[in-house]
Structure 1
Amino acid sequence: MKQLQKTRGYRQPLLACLIISNALLMAGCVSESPVTSLVTPAAEPTPVVVETPPPPPEPTPISRCQSDLAALQTVSPRVYAVRKANFDSLLGNASFYSGVRGDVNALTKNTLDALYKYKTNQLCAQIGQDLLNGLIRKMESVK
Structure 2
Amino acid sequence: MKKNLLNHLCVIAIILLAGCSSNSNSRTQKSVVNKAPQQLVSPPVEQKLKQPENIDEQVTAINSCRNALDSLKQINSGRAQKYNESFNSLVNAASQYNSVRAQISDTTRQTVDSMYQFKTLKLCSDINQALMDSLVASGEKAIR
Task: Please tell me the TM-score bracket, short chain as reference.
Answer: 0.5 to 0.7
- Residue 80 of structure 2 is matched in structure 1 by 80
Q: Which residue does 2:117 correspond to in 1?
A: 117
Aligned to 1:133: 133
CA offset digits 1:16-75 (Å, max 9, x no partner): xxxxxxxxxxxxxxxxxxxxxxxxxxxxxxxxxxxxxxxxx6562211110100000001
- Please provide the CA RMSD for this pair: 1.2
Mapping for residues 4-43 of structure 1, pairs under 5 Å: none
In structure 2, the residue matched to 1:91 is: 91
Q: Which runs of 4+ in 1 moved over 3 A?
A: none
Q: Distance in 2 between matches of 1:60 and 1:110?
A: 23
Instruction: Name the structure 1 match of 2:65.
Output: 65
Q: What is the identity, as a one-letter code, of the residue corresponding to 1:100? A: V
Aligned length: 87
In structure 1, what is the Cα distance between the partners aligned to 2:110 and 2:61? 19
Matched with 1:3 is: none
Could you list the runs of 5+ residues in structure 2 that have no partner in the other structure? 1-55
Deviation at 1:136, TM superposition (A): 0.2
Give the AA of the match of 2:140. Answer: E
2:103 matched residue in structure 1: 103
Distance in 1 (alpha carbons) for counterparts of 2:92 and 2:61: 17
| Identity between Structure 1 and Structure 2 (%) | 31
- TM-score, reference length from structure 1: 0.58
